[in-house]
Chain A
Amino acid sequence: MGWEKIGVLILAAVLIIFWGPRALRAARNAPKGTAEDWKGFLIPILLVIAFVIFLIMSVR
């Protein structure tokens, strides 16, 4: 393992230490979405997935 990969490994550890607790706190304190909210999110996301599949087909 080269010096750069060791450096990236250290950076990953630093991220887990500093960002990890913040991420957990944010996940715990975030408002919970209703079924209707999630439906409003899933529709555009499914359209994005369909569009990406279309782009993949177009470059094959």
Chain B
Amino acid sequence: MYDNQSVTSTRGRESVLATNKVLRNTYMLLSLTLLFSGLTAYIGMRSGIYLGVLPTLLIYFGLLFATEKTADSSLGLIFVFALTGFLGFTLGPILSFYLHTPQGAQMVMTALGGTGVIFLGLSGYALTTRKDFSFLGGMLVTGILIAFLAGLGAFIFNMPGLSLAVSAMFILLMSGLILFQTSQIVHGGETNYIRATVTLYVAIYNLFLSLLRILSAFSGR
């Protein structure tokens, strides 16, 4: 009896240690990739290079696929920096556009601060309550696909109203994704910190862009 309890307790402790390690590595890598993409965003702003929607999407999906396939090896780290660096670079022209509008700097800073508050608040909520949000998985996959396709539709058919609705949808979906991914790490559903970092990074990136789009639309500028 004592031995069984001891084994269970040791396994439990190992599991908690493994979860903490994934969590620590994820937040460490996420911080580094955010800093790196800040640098590439600055380079993107200075260079003034705009790739266009189609090349951006093709490179993004290519790098996402490569990161996913190499996430179990050290090569995954190179691809995660390539992906986040590229996404940061694509932010350059967007930020440049907003910064050249009246009070654009204030709007960018508000969106940046808002993204930080939402991310920290939701992560803190999932970490402290330790609620299991795995039931959100199906809704998130379907919702993100629908929102993404609606976003493409808004681009193809020049529908700014739909684009704004997609931004609002993305804020809710990315908030759900942060809760889902953090709870997956806490409950041992995600043991790969590279995959966890990519998911959280993409959520933060989309949250920031959607917030910026909404703030810009409602500010009347």
Contact = CB atoms under 8 A, between A and B. Distances in A.
Interface of A: 1, 4-5, 7-9, 11-12, 15-16, 19-20, 22-24, 26-33, 37, 40-41, 44-45, 47-49, 51-52, 55-56, 58-60
A59 B129 contact: no
A16 B142 CA distance: 11
A20 B145 contact: yes
Contacts of B138: 26-30
Chain A residues touching B, majority SS:
helix
27 contacts: A4-B53, A5-B156, A12-B153, A16-B149, A19-B145, A23-B141, A24-B142, A26-B141, A27-B139, A28-B138, A31-B137, A32-B135, A33-B135, A33-B136, A37-B131, A40-B131, A41-B176, A44-B122, A44-B179, A45-B172, A52-B114, A52-B171, A55-B215, A56-B214, A59-B106, A59-B107, A60-B219
Interface of B: 52-54, 57-58, 103, 106-107, 110-111, 114, 117-118, 121-122, 125, 129, 131-139, 141-142, 145, 148-149, 152-153, 155-156, 171-172, 175-176, 179, 211, 214-215, 218-220
A28 B117 CA distance: 33
Contacts of A1: 156
B134 A11 contact: no
B110 A59 contact: yes
